[in-house]
Structure 1
Amino acid sequence: MEDVARAAGISKGAVYLYFDSKAALFKALVESRVSPLRENFERLAVAGASDPMGTLKSLALIAARGFSNPDVVAVMRLAIGLSDRFPEITNYYREHVVERMHSIVEVSSQPPSIEAQIRVVDKPAMTRVIIGPLLFEALSVHSLKVDRGFEDPQKLIDATLISFSGGRVPRANLVRRTKA
């Protein structure tokens, strides 16, 4: 809390006027930085129920854009970094961000119509396979300082989704890229 107070240019007591604990401060950070991404996920999943494959692609693109935001990744890194000393903080992040976003992707892969487009063997595993490469890319860029990253996240998304269909996704089903 001392670091937060110093960075904000206020006293530690002033920080405690707004947040009674480190967990409360972290929850506010999640709500301000990560909740908008999660809410976009939720809206898209509801709106795209008639096109599950398009919805999965769009969800992956929203995740990629979110993971390209240093503030979003910083909150995730903080949750991971505090997991041993403050498990309640990590639990909050897991319940309010990770599990909710995973369930949205799983629900988006539920409609029978998606079975005609991709082969879904295990929905929880599929969710991790979709999000995993994007998460790895985010950690590589923001934590390991790899030079490249998210120049064209659609390539990573297309490659991931093609793997579910044995490489047999018709070109028309791939999201078209426009040149800037």
Structure 2
Amino acid sequence: MSQQNPNRRDIGRKPKFRRRAEARPDDILDAALKLFSLQGFMPTRMEDVAKEAGISKGAIYLYFPSKKALLEGLIRRAVVPVADSALEMIAAHRGDPLPVIRKFLTMVASAVKGPDGFAVPKLVIREAAAVPEIARMYREEVIDKALPAIAGLIAQGVEGGYIRNVDPELTVRTVVGPLFMHVLLDEVFGIRPDEGLAIDRLVDNHLTILMAGLAPETGGAR
């Protein structure tokens, strides 16, 4: 009976588990978000994230050279795609802005219900005072793009007579402000509705008030 070559006994066998290289950035970001949320951005070390992600301390630097890069990755993964999609919708719209504003807020509500959609804005609010670059990064990637686009949409609506004569820049704050305040009350002050954050209900309630407030005084477009 022939003996099996011990050097060839594993040839053709598949390993029980092999982490796909293309999945590792998401694994690392998942680990970073978990640790940043639990223990804060500053106390978390890169080696902590590597351990949580199940990789070596050196391997994490192949994908993210710093904690700042991890944070950029979290924002770009969870928030930027939603913001870019909303901006494309706003840029392409002509006419009554109210349906677009409704769709925009509904998109935001849907996005923050995802696994890390709400966690990233909450992380920004929690850490911004201690780590100003977090707020700056979020502003550059999201806010500086979104606010002018929504203001332009509102100005177009005023000019066309679809909404009453309001200040576009201040009205943007009225449109998005309740969402930020909702997170702030929960995250900073621990004030939460009995039903939980209930983001869908907040958006529905906000839209009821907002649509009535923006409706033209005389009705109809010019």
Q: Is TM-score (shorter-chain normalized) higher than 0.5?
A: yes
How far apart in 1 are the matches of 2:97 and 2:63? 42
- In the other structure, the counterpart of 1:163 is 213
Cα displacement (A) at 1:92 = 0.9
| Residue in 1 that maps onto 2:61 | 16
Question: Which amino acid letter does the alignment assign opposite residue 208 of structure 2?
Answer: D
How far apart are the structure 2 equivalents of 1:125 and 1:27?
A: 29
Distance 1:68 1:105 in 2: 22
Distance 2:148 2:89 in 1: 13
Deviations 1:56-99 (A, max 9, x none): 22222222223333512211122233324432222011111122
Moved more, 131-140 or 94-103: 131-140
Report which stretch shifted further, 50-59 or 139-148: 139-148
Which moved further from structure 2: 44-53 or 26-35?
44-53
Alignment check: 8 A CA contact 2:96 2:162 kept: no
Kindly provide the amino acid, as one letter, of the partner of residue 141 in structure 2.
H
Q: How far apart in 2 are the matches of 1:38 and 1:112? A: 21
Asked if 1:154 is matched to 2:204, the reply is yes
The alpha-carbon distance between structure 1 residues 33 and 151, as it changes in their structure 2 partners (threshold 3 A), is closer
Count of aligned residue pairs for this structure pair: 170
Distance 1:86 1:142 in 2: 17
Matched, 1:134 2:184: no
In structure 2, list runs of 5 or more residues that go unmatched: 1-45
1:48 CA drift (Å): 2.0
Please identify, of 28-37 and 139-148, the stretch whose mean Cα deviation from structure 2 is larger.
139-148
The alignment's C-alpha RMSD in Å is 2.8
Higher relative contact order (CA 8 A, sep 6+): 1
Q: CA deviation at 1:34?
A: 0.8
Q: Does 1:102 align with 2:151?
A: no
TM-score normalized by the length of structure 2: 0.65
Quick one: distance in 1 between partners of 2:109 and 2:218? 21
Q: What is the percent sequence identity of the aligned residues? A: 29
Q: Secondary structure at the match of 2:118?
A: helix
Q: Distance in 2 between matches of 1:11 and 1:73?
A: 29
2-structure distance, mates of 1:150, 1:58: 14
Q: Tell me, yes or no, if the aligned pair for 2:90 and 2:149 is still in contact at 8 Å.
A: yes
Q: With the length of structure 1 as denominator, give the TM-score of the two structures.
A: 0.78
Aligned-partner Cα distance in 1 for 2:136–2:218: 38
| Structure 1 position 108, deviation (Å) | 1.3
Question: Is the counterpart of residue 76 in structure 1 residue 121 in structure 2?
Answer: yes
For 2:77, give the aligned amino acid.
S
The structure that is helix-richer by fraction is 1
Question: How many angstroms does 1:106 deviate by?
Answer: 1.0
Matched residues in 1 for 2:96 and 2:86: separation? 15
Is 2:44 the counterpart of 1:44?
no
Equivalent pair of 2:64/2:70 in contact (CA under 8 Å): yes
What corresponds to 1:175 in structure 2? Answer: none
Query: How much has 1:113 moved relative to structure 2?
Result: 5.4
Task: Give the structure with higher Rg (CA).
Answer: 2
